[in-house]
Amino acid sequence: MLGEAQRDRRMARARLDVFSGGIDAAIERFSLAGSSNLVVVEWQGSDAELFARLERLAKECPHSTRVLVIGHRNDVGLYRALLARGVSDYAVAPVGVVEFFAIVARIYSDMGDTAIGSTVALIGASGGVGSSTVAHNVAWAMAAELDTDVLLVDADVAFGTTGLNFNLEAKHHGVLDALQQTGRMDEEMLERLVAKPHARLSVLSAPATLEAGYELDWSHFERAMDVARARAGYTLFDLPHSWNNGVRDLLKVVDQIVVVARPELAALRNCKNLLAYIASIRPNDPSPKLILNQVGVPRRAEIKPTEFARAAGRDLDVVLAFEPALFGTAANNGQLIGQFARNSRASHTFIQTASMLVNGSKPANRAQRKSRLGRRILGLKP
């Protein structure tokens, strides 16, 4: 299990050493080289022997070291006895990778009250599918409708559209400055680089200039991500339709991924490839959210949503209808759908999508919404 955990994205910044020999080997190792921040030991012997070895282990570890014991008995008495001796937690084998990370998070939950925000990457399965439009409108819905602090990062340095869609002044090109100033990045500097189209929404926009080539190295942006997670409940990355090390690195480290496609063959092929690749680098994470956009273009031969989902091998999380007049007018006005037409079907879909990312609830389809409305009319619970 620990070997598999070592390869997980959550361990990207951690060093995990796995060795055999039990507590005795750990005591010998730590007496020579110092202990780790967290020690995980597996035990199958008697309680008395375990307590004795833990006493010896404690002499080789500083007070700050946390200890997790994995045993083979579901025994409340043993659990309480271990906690009384300073052990951080006790788990019954077998322990899965995801369960292991949950236990570690629980062990370190008392280290401070600072909230750590969540990160979301939105990527299009092909060019022109509207992933940026989805990202911008979902970010607005999170801030304006769900009252959540959001940071939107436009990662398409050369062709990003946040400046246009949010009607920002040309001087704002914060994402490039953030990458260049990463060594000195702190909350005060980040605040100077962002634009604020809404009280709860900050935007690191792109310069959208072709004066030079740009290769985003997300390792340089690591500090900015840490600052962003401390200041915003959600950081949304609007990824360009390109495939490079920066994009792949970001897809590996974010908390959630949203893939946007439209009902055509090329997008379906790319979508399947993306989903397979993401599953290979994130084996212990849920599948990305899948949004099918621009559905119902007149006189266009398109794949039906049900057939698209069947071919992709998974359900669609959101389906967005093709509404060129609504989206075109809002874009020309430099407004989001939630500003221009707050009560429109598209606006409600973006709010539901935002809620799905924040609360984990899948947007209701039209039949479900009608059913809930009817139950409210009858005075029943939704």
Angle between helices 265-281 and 245-253 (to 10 degrees): 60
> What is the structure's pLDDT at 188?
79
Find the helix packing angle between 22-33 and 47-59, rounded to 10°: 10
What pLDDT sits at residue 265? 96
In DSSP terms, 42 is beta-bridged to 70
- As a whole number of angstroms, the distance between CA 118 and CA 133 comes to 20
pLDDT digits (tens, 9 = 90+) for 265-314: 999 999 999 999 999 999 989 999 999 999 999 999 999 999 999 999 99
Q: Is the pLDDT of residue 102 over 50?
A: yes
> What is the pLDDT averaged over residues 148-152?
93
**Structure tokens of 57?**
């282990």
Q: What percent of the chain has pLDDT over 90?
A: 47
Structure tokens at 164: 């246009």
Annotate 19-86 with DSSP letters as a single string. Answer: -SSHHHHHHHHHHHH---SEEEEE--S-HHHHHHHHHHHHHTS-TT-EEEEEES---HHHHHHHHHTT
- HSE on the CB side for 82, CA within 13 Å? 25
Please report which confidence band the pLDDT of residue 218 belongs to, taking 50, 70 and 90 as the band edges.
Answer: low
- Higher pLDDT among residues 17 and 117, named by residue: 117
Q: How confident is the model at residue 364 (pLDDT cuts 50, 70, 90)?
A: low
For strand 256-261 and strand 234-238, is the pairing parallel, antiparallel, or unpaired? Answer: unpaired
Q: Which helix (H) or strand (E) holds 319?
A: strand 318-321
Query: Alpha helix locations (H) across 232-379?
Result: 245-253, 265-281, 305-312, 324-332, 337-340, 345-359, 366-377
**Residues written for the chain:** 382
Q: What's the rounded mean pLDDT across residues 170-199?
A: 75
- Section 321-340 average pLDDT: 94
User: pLDDT-derived band of residue 212, with 50, 70 and 90 as boundaries?
Assistant: low
Q: Is the pLDDT of residue 361 over 70?
A: no
The neighbouring-strand residues paired with 38 are: 66
Note the pLDDT of residue 373.
Answer: 42
**pLDDT at res. 173:** 61
Region 146-160: mean pLDDT is 90
The residue-averaged pLDDT of 243-259 equals: 90
Q: Which residues contact 303 (CB under 8 A, 6 or more apart)?
A: 263, 264, 265, 268, 311
pLDDT of 369 reads 47
pTM of the complete model: 0.77
Which 3 state secondary structure label does DSSP give 291?
strand
Give 5-43 pLDDT, tens digit per residue. Answer: 767 777 766 777 777 788 888 888 888 777 778 889 889
C-alpha span between 69 and 74 (Å, rounded) = 12
Q: Which band of pLDDT confidence, cut at 50, 70 and 90, is reported for residue 367?
A: very low
Query: CA 155 → CA 23, 109, 175, 212, distances in Å?
Result: 47, 32, 7, 15
Name the helix (H) or strand (E) containing 225: helix 222-231
Please state the rounded mean pLDDT for residues 237-243.
Answer: 91
How high does pLDDT run on average in the chain? 84
What's the confidence (pLDDT) of residue 325?
A: 95
What's the start-to-end Cα distance of the chain, in Å? 42
| Confidence class for position 126, pLDDT limits 50, 70, 90 | very high
